[in-house]
Structure 1
């Protein structure tokens, strides 16, 4: 380590500061070269500041705006809440006020004020401290260092504020360079765009809106004077916490405006008589994260942010880059779903969550239209909020129940071990071999009356357990799990059996427990219960499974992003996974046809009838063994959806139907058709309105009968 050099001589630094004034050509009339400065010293050239920053307005942190698909703001992301403003957009009252109180000679001087420099030199000669009176240009540099260059380094920020000669010299050197590179108007606008007005409020445009609900171009004299007065000490002169001090400081500014001639005496008296006039309960600024989004948009916003971070954006970029993020969120659909889930399970209902995701199928993309829950996205658990994205993440740790029979059916159709017209063995109970074990897995149907054998179509509609575990055994667990991954369970199957990333730290005692250290794609290879859906799952990904089926077997990542533009309006590319044909179109059509009877004769038929539902579509319910979770996965027209109701508290129990849905020990418990399906029908009726029905495609003839195991891609019918 290099030993620190001797501290610079204070007198030498002051002389250097004075010489900067001379070199900058800003010596005022009558200003004499400071005593002790020799003629040879006048040849001093302003150096490039070693390691000094470029003062670039394009690097000033700006707030990022997250919008719905119609362009309405749903959230604002920021580290410093600031909206850009040009000199032409700032009211003359504001420029007059700031110059009157901070730097009256701004338009006549260069980067430095020789009068202040001379006073500092004289003061230093008498042993006093370095005095203030920096120019606007110097203040611009100082604030740029604090709020841009060193905004993440408290120690450097303290050095930027330190009342030392060395700091003043560095600041002055950079200010001289700024004065050569920028016009006076741009420097003044840059300064007013940069400065803090207390808390999260940065820049005059934001301050005008936050304190007065107006724009920078419309500021009145009293308003402009209040803001100009706050710049020097935004904490002490805060009109909300120190109203009398703020009023007194405002009036000092108004007096200064009268003194310098920018305001006549009568207008000044009128302005001083005006009240503070700030907005109630302000400053009024939006929250800085997705937790400030409206109740139906918080989880969606959080997913959009995580999606962009996975695409390469950093958290700091999103908080400071001034991007405009246009998302795929459909506000009408999102609100309709929010109304439906809140009616099913109240927001503050203890221990019960109702999540719902809506995705638009398509061969070139799967746009996420809504991600909603009865819970809201936030930190107040007492108000029914949660900081976990329970719609996107594999947060339903109890599983989606029999809706996983979709994967077993698709894998069997792909392998050719079953056809659309096949009948499945379906005894009331059976015990199936467990791979790699001498034991068997006992299974029974939930209720009596199932035919044996049962047709594949009727089995999908009425959901007998024995038939599907038998089909899973015949097809093979690896093929079923691989099908789940292909159709859409990407994040889900990469998580462990508690819905978290697998533990890989060998120091963690759970790292040797397969339930925690293995992804589900590995952990369930020997567990026949997979087709009964007893593993953690993402509601969003189950909706995307439905979208893959309705897209003719094309999987696409569930995208929440339409476009991203930077602060200049230029398009910013977003890296996304490409779509892929994961199963043949004929298989997807056949699977859809098999799922088309759930709402007419199947497990959701009663709820559909009660809702007056008549639209053709696909559906599959699910209920876990102890009813801790129930699900409905479906789709209609150009919409794919999943609704899941599950226990989400620290003391999970059986989910019970009722008004409201609640936890308890109710014996029969909730079912996918009785609790998870109703919000689907309610929301989709509102969303569809009078749209004409879109029929479900018929099964592909190639998949009507069992085949030899090949998977030939057939053209859609």
Structure 2
């Protein structure tokens, strides 16, 4: 017997009214509490959610090519449309759960009346007579809308008020949605066991196919499981599931969905489930060696307000910048040089693509396997993107060199290389037998007594750079390192819980900063390389290509603006200055080992304690900084070949870290195609030397004004004119041989005299003449040095052509 919709509504209201009167017979405890307190407003809100029908979905994280690498979810559910569910599946669920589904208006009053009489007589709920509409309401309120345990309990409590509320919403829902829409929403919501929510996840879990491909017996099994997804588990209760499936097949025959002959045949078939349930691992743990990148990307999104809870409950698609070719090359290289299971030592590397408008991370790799088995050396700690280790060592000398270049120093500037240097006001301690209130530094190797700045970058003498940071200023060196990429050094408490690393180093004026003794973030270190490779433009490392919601709408990400932090010319000069490390410096052996011949900028680094070492290398298309450090709980030094903890360290940046870089770069086409700026005479001379050269020939007043306008102090002396008019500059030079900002320039001013003509050549007059200095075809003969000017000034004058 069926009723018109208006009659059904009237009967439903009558039944509800009668039952409300009967509630007086029900114990008070069963009709009070959260369930009874729900207001009509709450029901309308629930109904709106039911109409939308969206439950928690699966967020998919992909690499740059779109290949999935991880999934996030609170319920593993893949929503599908009605035409993506096979007809046998729809027939099976209707046949066993609600065979009058297409006839009633959301509530089956015939079945409900019988059930309610039984329930009232029993003083509780013994029979449900729930339609698919009602089951959808119950499951949605339980699995989707419930925010806490109280609401979950209210969604499934065995009470008449809950049943009435369920009926009301089920009936209203039938007015708003078509039958197929209701059935589709129901099949997308209900649990099927083994972590599968919704029919699409169930089809994948048990049969490895989509819901659209489900056959009659497969559909019957899944429809049967809905009755009790925990009990009816084909992997633990095969016989129970087999019997239930056959019951569903019989019900399908009763409703005419299949013939009885077909039902009998299907009932003889095995369940045909996969050997083990198939599913997607939840979280970055399923990403393998991509797990470090995955974790970093989630942290990055959380800072954007896209939280893990949001990702777990919705179905986003997140595309990472991870390049699988580069990632595989990075992982292979670090594992080749540092054993994943080696106790107390790890190697990490990040690969960043240089750019002045964006800064994509292409790979994040660790020698450690990403996982939870600590005994096997696995970890999920953010090794690649947090401050770890004992520092990058001499790589920090590039910051001191960078400031010197910014202050006008040229790559050909000669610098002293004493075997020991004792500095006042740069901290205390250091080398043995150091006097009080003094910082003492010695070199690790033997060097010639003087080097150019470019040579010093290649060979890395400690004493030279302590002298240089003393000259240019610790505060300026720290600031440049932060601007180039070590941004976390300004975080409050990063040094000792109260001070930032940057503030502490500057306030204490610690010259040791140039030797790199502080823990470093490997991602930031690689970004330093990328900033220099980008001509001095800093951009935040970016792990995300895009984020889209379940409707395909792109989610806005607030990306920091890129910043020019170093003059392009100065960045290029520093890059050229770092180019000899692989040809004659500390990384030459590693470059030769891997047959590397293309120009790059590079710097090795090792801490004094040998607890960590690194290699920074880049060109305009590729930047990376392999970093090996002690990741154990002791302060044991590290040794090379193989990399391990040992009694006395001998691991240096030119060994495994540099070797890692070259093996990696050899397998990345962009690295092989990159370049660095061409050398320039201006780079060699330095901006200040070029400025000094321009003063020659000017009047004393004009030269003084020009120098003082640039912040230099000026002293003068009168010298023979050498053909220059009286009062003009014959030569200019720095007072200390090296000119830095605020330094003193000495101007040699012509007295107007003409040079004495050389006498006729004769043996008597030429024997006493000083031998001319040798010159090259490209270097003019320098004038005679007056008044015993030292060799340094003489060489500079010759270089400037005066």
TM bin (shorter chain)? 0.7 to 0.9
Residues 6-54 of structure 1: per-residue CA shift (max 9 Å, x gap):
xxxxxxxxxxxxxxx998643799x99659959x99xxxx966557422
| Pairing partner for 2:238 from 237, 243, 267 | 243
Cα distance, 1:470–1:686 mapped onto 2, change above 3 Å: same
Q: What secondary structure does 1:126 align onto?
A: helix
Partner of 1:663: 645
| Pairing partner for 1:292 from 286, 303, 306 | 286
Partner of 1:143: 139
Partner of 1:115: 110
CA–CA separation in structure 2 for the residues paired with 1:415 and 1:81:
60
Partner of 2:442: 444
TM-score, length-scaled by structure 1: 0.87
Matched, 1:67 2:62: yes
| Pairing partner for 1:473 from 459, 470, 473 | 470
Matched, 1:490 2:487: yes
Residue 166 of structure 1, CA deviation:
1.7
Residues 125-151 of structure 1: per-residue CA shift (max 9 Å, x gap):
42442221211111111111111111x
Cα distance, 1:59–1:405 mapped onto 2, change above 3 Å: farther
| Pairing partner for 1:210 from 205, 210, 235 | 205
Matched, 1:401 2:365: no
Residues 177-204 of structure 1: per-residue CA shift (max 9 Å, x gap):
3222221111111111111122432111
Cα distance, 1:25–1:335 mapped onto 2, change above 3 Å: farther
Cα distance, 1:691–1:412 mapped onto 2, change above 3 Å: closer
Partner of 1:193: 188
CA–CA separation in structure 2 for the residues paired with 1:189 and 1:548:
52
Matched, 1:134 2:135: no
Cα distance, 1:33–1:637 mapped onto 2, change above 3 Å: closer
Pairs within 5 Å for 1:241-280: 241-280=236-275
Partner of 1:597: 580
Cα distance, 1:58–1:337 mapped onto 2, change above 3 Å: farther
CA–CA separation in structure 2 for the residues paired with 1:180 and 1:652:
72
CA–CA separation in structure 2 for the residues paired with 1:226 and 1:709:
86
Cα distance, 1:583–1:32 mapped onto 2, change above 3 Å: closer
CA–CA separation in structure 1 for the residues paired with 2:262 and 2:711:
90
Residues 510-547 of structure 1: per-residue CA shift (max 9 Å, x gap):
xxxx6232221222222222111111111111111100
Across the two proteins, how many residue pairs are aligned to each other? 662
Matched, 1:464 2:461: yes
Residue 419 of structure 1, CA deviation:
2.7
Q: What secondary structure does 2:624 align onto?
A: strand
Cα distance, 1:175–1:601 mapped onto 2, change above 3 Å: same
Matched, 1:638 2:613: no
Cα distance, 1:140–1:24 mapped onto 2, change above 3 Å: farther
Residue 672 of structure 1, CA deviation:
0.5
8 Å contact kept, 2:622–2:670: no
CA–CA separation in structure 1 for the residues paired with 2:451 and 2:406:
20
Structure with larger RCO (C-alpha < 8 A, sep 6+): 1
CA–CA separation in structure 1 for the residues paired with 2:636 and 2:6:
77
Report the more deviating stretch, 89-98 or 176-185: 176-185
Residue 224 of structure 1, CA deviation:
1.0
8 Å contact kept, 2:5–2:105: no
Structure 1, unaligned runs of 5 or more: 1-20, 497-501, 503-513, 713-717
CA–CA separation in structure 1 for the residues paired with 2:189 and 2:16:
37
CA–CA separation in structure 2 for the residues paired with 1:369 and 1:681:
16
Matched, 1:425 2:416: yes
Matched, 1:698 2:689: no
- Structure 1 stretches of 4+ with a deviation exceeding 4 A read 21-25, 31-38, 46-51, 435-438, 689-693, 708-712
Matched, 1:84 2:84: no
CA–CA separation in structure 2 for the residues paired with 1:552 and 1:583:
8
Pairs within 5 Å for 1:483-562: 483-494=480-491, 496=493, 502=494, 515-525=496-506, 526=508, 527-562=510-545
Residues 386-411 of structure 1: per-residue CA shift (max 9 Å, x gap):
12110011123x11111111211112
CA–CA separation in structure 2 for the residues paired with 1:235 and 1:548:
55
CA–CA separation in structure 1 for the residues paired with 2:164 and 2:83:
32
Is the radius of gyration larger for structure 1 or structure 2? 2
8 Å contact kept, 2:665–2:672: no
Q: What secondary structure does 2:661 align onto?
A: helix
Pairs within 5 Å for 1:615-630: 615-630=598-613
CA–CA separation in structure 2 for the residues paired with 1:356 and 1:35:
68
8 Å contact kept, 1:596–1:696: no
Partner of 1:373: 366
CA–CA separation in structure 2 for the residues paired with 1:635 and 1:35:
76
Residue 606 of structure 1, CA deviation:
0.4
Residues 355-374 of structure 1: per-residue CA shift (max 9 Å, x gap):
01100001111110000011
Structure 2, unaligned runs of 5 or more: 23-38, 429-435, 689-709, 713-739, 742-802
| Pairing partner for 1:685 from 658, 662, 666 | 666
Cα distance, 1:457–1:126 mapped onto 2, change above 3 Å: same
Partner of 2:728: none
8 Å contact kept, 1:303–1:389: yes
Report the more deviating stretch, 254-263 or 50-59: 50-59
CA–CA separation in structure 1 for the residues paired with 2:139 and 2:589:
66
Matched, 1:586 2:586: no
Residue 638 of structure 1, CA deviation:
0.4
8 Å contact kept, 2:666–2:672: no
Residue 321 of structure 1, CA deviation:
2.2
Cα distance, 1:688–1:121 mapped onto 2, change above 3 Å: closer
Q: What secondary structure does 2:288 align onto?
A: coil
Residue 155 of structure 1, CA deviation:
2.6
CA–CA separation in structure 2 for the residues paired with 1:637 and 1:408:
22
8 Å contact kept, 2:638–2:649: no
Report the more deviating stretch, 177-186 or 614-623: 177-186
CA–CA separation in structure 1 for the residues paired with 2:42 and 2:481:
60
CA–CA separation in structure 1 for the residues paired with 2:131 and 2:274:
31
Q: What secondary structure does 2:411 align onto?
A: coil
TM-score, length-scaled by structure 2: 0.78
Partner of 2:148: 153
Report the more deviating stretch, 560-569 or 544-553: 560-569
CA–CA separation in structure 1 for the residues paired with 2:664 and 2:43:
63
Cα distance, 1:274–1:700 mapped onto 2, change above 3 Å: farther
Report the more deviating stretch, 516-525 or 557-566: 516-525
CA–CA separation in structure 2 for the residues paired with 1:271 and 1:700:
86
CA–CA separation in structure 1 for the residues paired with 2:442 and 2:17:
102
Cα distance, 1:77–1:697 mapped onto 2, change above 3 Å: farther
